[in-house]
Structure 1
Amino acid sequence: MRAFFCCLLFTFLFFSSPGYSQSKDSSKVVQKDLWDIVSPKKVESIEEEQAHKIQKGLLPYASINPATGVEFGVFGNLAAYFGDHSTTRMSNMTMGAAYTTKKQVTTNLRTMIFTNNDNWILVGDTRFYKYSQSTYGLGSKSQVNAQVPMTFNMIRFYETALRKIYKNLYAGGGVSYQRHYSIGGYTPVEVNEGTPVSSDAYSLYCYNHGFNPNEYTSAGVNLSAGIDSRDNIINAYKGIYTRVSYFIYGNFLGGSSKWQNLFTEFKTYLPLAKKHNQRLAFWYYGSYLVNGRAPYMELPSIGWDTYGNSGRGYVQGRFRGSSMVYAETEYRVDISKNGLLGAVAFLNCSTTSNEDTGDHLFNAVNPAGGLGLRIKLNKVSRTNITIDYGIGKNTNGFYLNVGEAF
């Protein structure tokens, strides 16, 4: 671990040296992406390709993640302007279907659409998973030896519409529906004279709070507001993103319980050089159970953010809790002047709570860090292929993906 952080420090010092960031000719270098390398065509400038308005692609996809093993499938991306591109930000839609070496099946469609002049932001997250994942109980002090190897199917449908109120300030609302079913892998609760005497953390939670461990649904609405001044939602060079959402779940849309949750998120991107070839990015989000009881799989957990990128250094689902706070900072730098290759160094930490045991937020914090390589897949949308290696407490892992962590 000590050697890792020495390497991390060296990377920061090397890539932030003044001689690298102040190249006099960087403004004259034509930017390139992977397609410019593999396709024998004239390399266009970003401005020329932007004039085409739509960047799209469908390609075979491979990913590596401790939770899925090796993932094979197809990945589609559409980056387009739905309005005057001088006053409207580029929208992004991604879709994919994959099969993993752990015999999981995933399909997803994620959208963030900006209408003309950014008057509306439409955010969607739709998924179907036939999945397997271990859980380790709740709270930041959960132990590896408490592992419960779960299997389940999941359907998700989240849609939120936000209206511009003033400049970069937006407000609106949406619906949230998520169902877990065909859940397996847990040990059923054994009861002796009304007292559970043998089980695991998952089964005990369901037993104590009246949930059917085989299936449950969360359904509700949300009220949201936030600020979004990012120059690019796929790979921002500057700007901030902040969001506050209040979720109200109940039985009126088929939900299994009544509960309310407060979600807060903040991202900021700071250019460290005039040509944006060095950047510092920061990400925070917090999910707080306000009242009621959420189904176990609905409780916040690392790796279950929208794009599944939080908690690099740990397996997805390693830490879960009634509430959760997560923070990450990442240093990003271009290795090549044409933007084709880049590198990152990152540090993150998380803390989760367990209301059943009185384990509060910040009673324990779980840190991680790592290094990564970036390969430009699309220079107009700034989409990168990301290759990361993360180290946590007594754990590590490789992560191969498309798109930045945040």
Structure 2
Amino acid sequence: MPKACCILLFFITSFSAQSQVVEDIKEFFTFYPNKKAAERDSTLYKQKFIAAPVMSYAPETNFAFGTGAKYLFKFNGSGEETRTSNMPITLQYTLNSQFFLYSGFEIFTNQEEWVIEGNLLFQNYPRLYYGIGKDTPDSAEEQYDYNQFLFEPIFLKRMFHRFLFIGGGVRYNHIYNTQIEEDGLIAQNRPDGFDGSTSVGAEVAVLFDSRSNILNAQDGWYLEFTHGKYFKALGGTNKFNLTRFDIRHYFDVSEKNEDILAVQLIGRFTREDIPFSEYAFFGSSEIMRGYQEGRFVERDMLATQVEYRKNFADSRFGAVVFAGTGDVYRNVSDFRFGDLKPNYGAGLRFKLDKTENLNIRFDWGFGRGTNSFYLSIAEAF
């Protein structure tokens, strides 16, 4: 994901008192791929492609420019019973000739008979490396450059229950063109896959998703479990297992203002012959906000967070407070409450699209001796 200093240039919030101005600016950044067809047929969902400029700065990247976007759509023949499909797209290019392209998609077919979800990532963005372990010092920091192509489509069929989907998919993660500091920590430790790796595996997946809105849930559950087996026979460089889960619940605590209490618990566990790229990377713009992504690295990770989302009546503005904790482990059996790393923070929200309940979010997160800013489209979870 983009660095914490990422700045999304949605300047429409400065015009909050002028509702028509806000609508005009929103429309400037919104494209409707099937506009003419939707005007002819009122049963069609009017697809939206919402885009805006993105700029960021970090010492290891210099200035970066690009675009952040959300493509919201439904297949023809889908009505109110089918939730809106979401395909975010982030593209950046830096003055150091680095690039970042990412999409994490969730697509519902007609009447939600199938869910197609997954990730697409193509980048040569640098990473800061501090070593492997839960207590690595800040003084160990060094830059690690590499190219990465990751593709992970998962196909899930609705079975047994309205919101239960079962299926599987494949995951391909290729790391190449690595560059490390001579005589640096990576050169000394030489973790498996430091000079490149290819992970190829098959996954089984179970999803229970009863959220009423994918972009900004007001209620419901989201429970996802995936387990993947990776083989050299499929063209990979390593043989290992990867297990992940993501559990979320949303409480509607105020019908008047639509205030929401959201909670999340995630876990990631790897075993056997693991390349460095498949370790758990602690911290991001979604979980453990305040810590730089990859500040701590190990085989296993557990993290949880809770967020209160305050919506002001008859206003596009909102605010959030959040707190969480988590850690990385060589083995999750090493879990100790006293070792957990805390995070907390607050943020502002601006409702860009009232129909889809789509927010622009600005968060300021704090960790143990660190803090980060985040500004992007849609909620952290």
The residue that corresponds to 1:38 in the other structure is 25
Secondary structure at the residue paired with 1:36? helix
Q: Distance in 1 between matches of 2:52 and 2:296?
A: 33
Shift in Å at residue 148 of structure 1? 2.7
Shift in Å at residue 187 of structure 1? 4.4
Is 1:226 aligned with 2:207?
A: yes
**1:314 equivalent among 271, 275, 291:** 291
Q: Could you tell me which amino acid in structure 2 is paired with residue 296 of structure 1?
A: F
Deviations 1:230-267 (A, max 9, x none): 01111101111001111101113321110002111101
**1:344 equivalent among 309, 320, 344:** 320
1:17-32 to 2 correspondence within 5 Å? none
Give RMSD over aligned pairs.
2.8
**1:396 equivalent among 371, 378, 381:** 371
Is 1:132 aligned with 2:126?
A: yes
Deviations 1:207-242 (A, max 9, x none): xxxx35321111101001121000111110111100
Contact 1:140 1:364 in 2 (8 A): no
Q: TM-score scaled by structure 2?
A: 0.83
Contact 1:139 1:351 in 2 (8 A): no
The residue that corresponds to 2:11 in the other structure is none
Secondary structure at the residue paired with 1:261? strand
The residue that corresponds to 1:376 in the other structure is 351
Cα distance change of structure 1 residues 402 and 231 upon mapping to structure 2, 3 Å threshold = same
Q: Distance in 2 between matches of 1:176 and 1:167?
A: 27
Shift in Å at residue 369 of structure 1? 0.6
Q: Distance in 2 between matches of 1:242 and 1:310?
A: 16
Using CA pairs under 8 Å that are at least 6 residues apart, name the structure with larger relative contact order, 1 or 2: 1
**1:107 equivalent among 81, 101, 105:** 101
1:233-312 to 2 correspondence within 5 Å? 233-275=214-256, 277-289=258-270, 291-303=271-283, 308-312=285-289
Q: Could you tell me which amino acid in structure 1 is paired with residue 303 of structure 2?
A: Y
Q: Could you tell me which amino acid in structure 1 is paired with residue 277 of structure 2?
A: M
Q: Could you tell me which amino acid in structure 2 is paired with residue 320 of structure 1?
A: V
Q: Distance in 1 between matches of 2:348 and 2:82?
A: 30
Contact 2:283 2:290 in 1 (8 A): no
Q: Distance in 1 between matches of 2:242 and 2:50?
A: 37
Q: Could you tell me which amino acid in structure 2 is paired with residue 310 of structure 1?
A: I
**1:353 equivalent among 325, 329, 348:** 329
Contact 1:328 1:346 in 2 (8 A): yes
Aligned residue pairs total: 348
Shift in Å at residue 348 of structure 1? 1.7
Q: Could you tell me which amino acid in structure 2 is paired with residue 395 of structure 1?
A: T
Contact 1:55 1:381 in 2 (8 A): no
The residue that corresponds to 1:60 in the other structure is 53
The residue that corresponds to 2:34 in the other structure is none
Q: TM-score scaled by structure 1?
A: 0.78
The residue that corresponds to 2:111 in the other structure is 117
Shift in Å at residue 52 of structure 1? 4.6
Deviations 1:179-217 (A, max 9, x none): 1111122446xxxxxxxxxx62575252xxxx3532111
Shift in Å at residue 114 of structure 1? 0.5
Shift in Å at residue 68 of structure 1? 6.6
Contact 2:45 2:73 in 1 (8 A): no
Aligned structure 1 segments of 4 or more residues deviating by more than 4 angstroms: 32-35, 48-52, 63-71, 100-103
Q: Could you tell me which amino acid in structure 1 is paired with residue 286 of structure 2?
A: N
Cα distance change of structure 1 residues 104 and 367 upon mapping to structure 2, 3 Å threshold = farther
Shift in Å at residue 294 of structure 1? 1.4
Contact 1:33 1:379 in 2 (8 A): no
The residue that corresponds to 2:166 in the other structure is 171
The residue that corresponds to 1:5 in the other structure is none
Q: Distance in 2 between matches of 1:66 and 1:372?
A: 25
Q: Distance in 2 between matches of 1:371 and 1:103?
A: 33
1:321-340 to 2 correspondence within 5 Å? 321-335=298-312, 337-340=313-316
Contact 1:237 1:276 in 2 (8 A): no
Q: Distance in 1 between matches of 2:295 and 2:26?
A: 41
Cα distance change of structure 1 residues 68 and 270 upon mapping to structure 2, 3 Å threshold = farther
Q: Distance in 2 between matches of 1:296 and 1:213?
A: 6
